[in-house]
Amino acid sequence: MSDTEPKGLGKKRTLVLIVIAVLVLGAAGVYSVQAFQRYQERTSGASAAALRDSMPEGDRIVFRNTAPGEGYGSMAAVALNAPSGQRALTDISCDRVAERAGLVSCMKTRRGIPTTFENDVLDAEGNLVETLPLPGIPSRTRISDGGLVATTSFVTGHSYAAGSFSTETTVTRADGTGYGNLEDFTMMVDGEELTAVDRNVWGVSFVSENEFYVTVASGGKTWLMRGSFSAKTLTSVIENAECPSVSPDRSRVAYKKRTGLGATVHWDIAVLDLKTGKETIIGLRDGFDDQLEWLDNDRLLYGVPRAGELGDSDVYVIDARAEAEPEVLIEHAWSPSVVRTAG
Amino acid sequence: MYLSLSDWRSNKASNTSRAAQVAFKASPTVIALGIVSMLTDISSESVAAILPMYITGALGLSMIAYGFFEGLNQSASALVRIAAGYAADQTSRPKPVAVAGYGLSMVARVGLLFATGFAGIAAVIGVDRVGKGIRTAPRDAMIQQASQPEHLARSFGLHRLLDTIGATVGPMLAFVVLLLVPDGYRAVFVLSLAVAILGVAVLVLVVPNRKLGAKPLPAAQAHNSPAATAEEPGRSIRALKFKPMLRMLSRGRMGRMLCAAGLLGLLTVGDGFVYLALMAHGTMDYFWFPLLFVGSNLVFLLLAIPLGKLADRTSRAAVFVLGHLALALAYLCASGGGSLIFIVSALAALGLFYAATDGVLAALAGQLSPEGSVSTGIGAAQTVVAVARLLSATGFGVLWVLFGANLALLGAAALLLLVVPLAWYLLLGKSSQPAEEN
């Protein structure tokens, strides 16, 4: 760049600027139109998954259907004894979904200016019981046997230059009453109260109507904490554990354990025996990032995004023992929730 | 107070007193840089608005690990900012440094199209922030150089106005795209890249590559020849070497200014907390939360130029310091209650605060920097403020948890009211008399 540039913007520069503007904005416009067309095809064509007309009777797995085509993003269900078989689609659209105790918790994004988020609580027939506004992006939801609904959302700042985000985890009943934000509970780490500012709470898993497990994070550390609604306390159980999931027989808790330090983030599965306190690590080559769900007392489910296919994912199953290998259980699925009708 | 104000006005530059006499002409370079910033902000804020949804919704990752990269990025960005200002001063050429900064952020947009893992996303964001850190100081040095000295704060106000328009339009654009194409994150990224390329093109093609220290063009000439390059008439400005630069930053009026700005920054807890406190009264639905930011931005847009003008006519230092009274008012309103009057007043006060301090700080730092150290001076002032605000946000969070939102805000307002006179003394008091400097 020289000091002796021509006076004025100059015809040549103006022309170059106009050409660049037309080229880049034109290209972006064309791409946007194509993206719109692709979206239309993806959501209106035949589903990439095999469909059935009626909801499966008895025990089932409900999930978010991510198969391209009709019903993309909707809540779907497969029979528990034929999880890889045909799925029934609902017209309920959810980002995260859980079903238990005759209630469905459906966390969803409402597109608009600005985009907002909400949690729809529905009954087993799909009728809306209550809509609860969410302060941020849907992340985790679970329901207790007695109908307590737990949700975790990510609350982000306006700008990633500020880079601030936090989680908000609330537990409410379908009628809107409940225990509010778990961040207001008293938190104890190894006998000392945790008063740090950057406390974040996420991923509730219920033991009973009064007890639950949850993740608490502060200062780059995470803890598995046991919570009590009546005492309004959270008490640390073990360090480095996220997104707990209590087994159906209540004897174990499975969670994400962060392994591998530095710039890469990698989580393996860990299972904690609540009686013996023994922690079993199940190493995963590709890692995972989801709240585990127990298929039964021996097997775990989790979602994995498909590489190279944005917005599509599969649900994997893995034995809850060391050296186990995961395999795909439900294709084009996300956010699995096992619904047991008996006992 | 006004005695010391008028004393201070009679400093060697005495630019402020002349502001009323010299007609303001918006420099084409300042407007061009404003458009560059507007395009760049449309580009970055459109991505910022949807990135969390993209990470969680489309990539299926949790946001948790995102936090681990934060501290690192923040501190890297602050260091880079001073370094880039220093580099611009040493080479006497801010434009190539600014181009590098804007270009780096543009490259980050390309990376966004391909990054799908956490490490990839984190790297892209890191590169973008480094770019942001690099470009700010040299760009403000270019604004300073292209502006009439009498109307420096007004020129910065004009630039920040355009910048903020971009920051407001960006998220809206992204939400419109997602409304039409619900999973159209990539379309937003492509649009963002296109706008970023356009911004860099305007910078490269329209903004002149002038040597620092070159006398600003006479207004009339500048008006007629936007891309004119002032030939240096045999005068060359030597950049300060490292040690004199440090001395310049740590002593005298510049040192006191950095000290005052840092002190005030320590009580600037961030508008996010003000919005959260307003939300905490429970009178507003979550739906309104993102719109609070738009509200204070609108006030900023209305006031950025008038307050720059006021600063030029009276005293930049005074407007900068007193602007923090508006911040104290915003704290008080936010802690006052959730009724409409408190919400509107808090947003208006916040907008007023940013209008009185954002561009004015750059103008003040530029004015106090000796020739050959303008980029470093501005970069240092912005870094001091940014770091102080970061500390403030962290510290304030503790108070928030311990005492609750309202009491914490009241405390911050009270401390601010104590620090404002101190900052006034540092910047405008007896010891700040220019005679001592020269």
Give yes or no for A4 touching B (CB within 8 A).
yes
Bridge-based pairing state of the strands A96-100 and A87-93: unpaired
Pure H helices in A3-115: 11-44
What is the token pair recorded at B345?
């007043």
Round to whole Å and give the CA distance between B262 and B383.
9
Q: Name the residue among B171, B180, B272 with its Cβ closest to that of A36.
A: B180
Give yes or no for A185 touching B (CB within 8 A).
no
Residues 6+ apart with CB under 8 A from B410: B331, B332, B335
Cross-chain residue pair A113–B176, CB shorter than 8 Å: yes
Question: DSSP 3-state assignment of A317?
Answer: strand
What is the token pair recorded at A259?
């392994």
pLDDT tier at A172, thresholds 50, 70, 90: very high
- Using CA of residue B111, residue B112, residue B116, residue B122, what is the dihedral sign? positive
For B130, the closest chain A residue by CA position comes to A161
The predicted structure's pLDDT at residue B328: 97
Bridge-based pairing state of the strands A252-259 and A242-246: antiparallel
Structural domains of chain B sorted by starting position, each given as residue range(s) with its CATH number in brackets: 18-212 (1.20.1250.20), 240-430 (1.20.1250.20)
Residue A324, CA distances (Å) to A252, A271, B112 in order: 17, 12, 35
Full strand arrangement of the beta sheet holding A313-319: A293-294, A299-305, A313-319, A327-330
Cross-chain residue pair B181–A307, CB shorter than 8 Å: no
pLDDT(A191) > 70: yes
Residues of A in contact with B167 (CB under 8 A): 159
DSSP code string of A206-254: ESSSSEEEEEEEETTEEEEEEEETTTTEEEEEEES-EEEEE-TTSSEEE
Nearest to A196 by CA among A213, A217, A212: A217
Dihedral of the alpha carbons of A149, A154, A157, A159, in degrees to the nearest 10: -150
Residue B250, CA distances (Å) to B27, B180, B362, B366, B369 in order: 32, 53, 17, 15, 12
Question: What is the nearest CA distance from A99 to chain B, expressed in angstroms?
Answer: 20
Round to whole Å and give the CA distance between A22 and B194.
10
DSSP code string of A161-180: TT--EEEEEEEEETTS-EEE
What is the token pair recorded at B352?
């007023």
Residues of B in contact with A334 (CB under 8 A): 60
Give yes or no for B398 touching A (CB within 8 A).
yes
State pLDDT tens for residues A267-303. 999 999 999 999 999 999 988 999 999 999 999 999 9
The predicted structure's pLDDT at residue B232: 40
Cross-chain residue pair B180–A195, CB shorter than 8 Å: no
Dihedral of the alpha carbons of A229, A234, A236, A242, in degrees to the nearest 10: 80
| ipTM of the complex in this document | 0.82
Answer yes or no: are the C-beta atoms of A137 and B53 closer than 8 Å. yes
Residue B422, CA distances (Å) to A117, B11, B322, B389 in order: 45, 21, 11, 18
Count Cβ atoms within 10 A of the Cβ of residue A199 and give its class: 0-12 exposed, 13-18 middle, 19 or more buried. buried
Give yes or no for B191 touching A (CB within 8 A).
yes
Q: How far is residue B404 CA from its own chain's centroid?
A: 29
Report which DSSP code applies to B277: H
Amino acid code (one letter) for A195: T
pLDDT tier at A255, thresholds 50, 70, 90: very high
Cross-chain residue pair B194–A27, CB shorter than 8 Å: yes
State pLDDT tens for residues B128-161. 989 999 999 999 999 999 999 999 999 999 999 9
B 130-159 residues with CB below 8 A of A? Answer: 132
pLDDT(A193) > 60: yes
Full strand arrangement of the beta sheet holding A148-156: A137-143, A148-156, A165-173, A178-181
Answer yes or no: are the C-beta atoms of A42 and B231 closer than 8 Å. no
Q: Which helix (H) or strand (E) holds B380?
A: helix B374-403
Angle at B29 between CA B23 and CA B30, to 5 degrees: 65
Cα of first residue to Cα of last residue in chain B, in angstroms, is 24
Span A238-261, mean pLDDT?
Answer: 93
Answer yes or no: are the C-beta atoms of B17 and B9 closer than 8 Å. yes
Residues of A in contact with B47 (CB under 8 A): 160
Question: What is the nearest CA distance from A215 to chain B, expressed in angstroms?
Answer: 11
A 31-90 residues with CB below 8 A of B? Answer: 31-32, 35-36, 39, 42, 73
Cross-chain residue pair A17–B205, CB shorter than 8 Å: yes
Bridge-based pairing state of the strands A327-330 and A233-239: unpaired
Q: Which helix (H) or strand (E) holds B355?
A: helix B340-368
State pLDDT tens for residues A26-68. 999 999 999 999 888 878 888 999 999 998 989 999 999 999 9
Residues of A in contact with B48 (CB under 8 A): 158-161
For A140, the closest chain B residue by CA position comes to B62
The predicted structure's pLDDT at residue B177: 93
Q: Which helix (H) or strand (E) holds A79?
A: strand A74-79
Question: What is the nearest CA distance from B183 to chain A, expressed in angstroms?
Answer: 7
Answer yes or no: are the C-beta atoms of A9 and B207 closer than 8 Å. no
Answer yes or no: are the C-beta atoms of A246 and A261 closer than 8 Å. no
pLDDT tier at A3, thresholds 50, 70, 90: very low
pLDDT by position in tens, chain B (length 438): 333 444 444 444 444 556 667 888 889 999 999 999 999 999 999 998 888 888 887 887 776 655 555 555 666 777 888 899 999 999 989 999 999 999 999 999 999 998 877 778 888 888 998 999 999 999 999 999 999 999 999 999 999 999 999 999 998 999 999 999 888 899 999 999 999 999 999 999 999 988 876 554 444 444 444 443 444 444 455 667 777 777 778 778 899 999 999 999 999 987 878 888 888 887 887 777 778 888 999 999 999 999 999 999 999 999 999 999 999 999 999 999 889 999 999 999 999 999 999 999 999 999 998 888 899 999 999 999 988 888 887 788 778 777 888 999 999 999 999 999 999 999 988 655 443 333
Pure H helices in B240-339: 242-250, 252-265, 271-280, 289-313, 316-336
Angle at B179 between CA B177 and CA B183, to 5 degrees: 75
- Using CA of residue A99, residue A239, residue B54, residue A170, what is the dihedral sign? positive
What is the token pair recorded at B155?
């020129």
Measured from the Cβ of residue A119, the count of other Cβ atoms closer than 10 Å reads 23
What is the token pair recorded at B267?
């009580």
Give yes or no for B220 touching A (CB within 8 A).
no
Question: DSSP 3-state assignment of A72?
Answer: coil
Q: Give the pTM.
A: 0.83
Beta bridge partners of residue A318, listed in sequence order:
A300
Q: Name the residue among B175, B183, B226 with its Cβ closest to that of A9.
A: B226
State pLDDT tens for residues A196-214. 777 889 999 999 999 999 9
Nearest to B35 by CA among B114, B139, B153: B139
Question: What is the nearest CA distance from A272 to chain B, expressed in angstroms?
Answer: 22
Full strand arrangement of the beta sheet holding A252-259: A242-246, A252-259, A266-273, A279-282
Nearest to A171 by CA among A128, A195, A206: A206
Count Cβ atoms within 10 A of the Cβ of residue B100 and give its class: 0-12 exposed, 13-18 middle, 19 or more buried. middle
Residues 6+ apart with CB under 8 A from B203: B32, B33, B36, B95, B98, B99, B102
